[in-house]
Amino acid sequence: MEQIQHKYVDVNGLKLHVAEIGTGPTVVVFLHGFPEIWYSWRYQMIAAAKAGFRAIAPDFRGYGLSEHPAEPEKATFKDFVDDVGGIMDFLNIPKAFLVSKDFGVKPAYHYALLHPERVMGVITLGLPFVLPGPELFPRELFPKGFYMLRWQEPGRAEADFGRLDVKTVVRNIYILFSGSELPAAEEDQEIMDLVDPSTPLPSWFTEEDLANYATLYEKSGFRTALQVPYRTWLEGYGTTNLKVNLPALHVQGEQDYVYKFPRMAEYIEGQVKEYVPDLEITFIPGGSHFVQEQFPEQVNEMIISFMKKHI
């Protein structure tokens, strides 16, 4: 990882951390999810640079080494979208591919809808383009103790996480989200109670990886992370035109618990192309929610092949 360089950029009144590698003329911007950070793209960044691309991975505001907004509890997805544009402006990037994972998919597509002239293509992992509002994720179809519903309650996750050190919280979430079932607690449980302390880390995720994540989240905490995405999930895209007329690729792990959201499989296999007509969909057998860390070579090849096809 020593080839990856780190810098801070002044964007929208905050100092945001950006990891960067490669000097190619075509840029790819990697947008992380939760509990991830720039580091979750380490394998893809190095592979993209070796393939001749300039790879950039920011920490979203309030995550990792990036500054928190003054009032984290008021942060919105639109703030993250504006930061993507601000980072591109600061680094003099007129146009880029956007590669996104988990909730990072929302700001990627949001930016593509508002500024299609600055996007060469969108690549998503784990979560496809999703409609704003409750249509795709009706609360009544999910278990009452589903983690997203629990974490939407102000103070609930803070109290749950606060019982443990940051490293254990990140460890537990990685173990939970690596599974193929929806993480949901019983009435008398909290989400952190779902993981037995003796449960090993996934085979592809090392203690060193965990330490790197923990160090970054010890710096940032979870204030902004619980606001965006969990408490702003229903936020709209700021436009009535929800058709993305850009090349797109969606990579879906077949064992990703998100694929088991009610209606999600049917949506990915059908309706999503109404909104993203030029969309390729690829499934990875055995792939978990963290497919880019679990099967990096496979995912690297998919991303680089797609980008080379659409330069």
Digit-coded pLDDT (tens) for 102-132: 999 999 999 999 999 999 999 999 999 998 8
Q: Which residues are known to be catalytic?
A: 102, 230, 289
Q: What integer pLDDT is reported at residue 133 of this predicted model? A: 75
Q: What are phi and psi of 224, to 5 degrees?
A: -70, -35
Q: What integer pLDDT is reported at residue 185 of this predicted model? A: 97
Where do runs of H (alpha helix) occur along the chain? Answer: 42-50, 77-90, 105-114, 147-151, 156-162, 166-177, 207-220, 223-227, 264-266, 272-275, 291-294, 296-309
Low-confidence ranges of the chain (pLDDT < 70): 1, 135-136
**Distance between CA atoms of 154 and 156, rounded to whole angstroms?**
6
Q: Residue type for 1, please?
A: M
Residue ranges of domains in the chain, CATH in brackets:
5-309 (3.40.50.1820)
**Longest C-alpha distance within the chain, in Å?**
54
**Distance between CA atoms of 178 and 67, rounded to whole angstroms?**
28
Q: Taking the CB of residue 291, how many other CB atoms lie within 10 A of it?
A: 24
Does this model's pTM top 0.75? My answer is yes
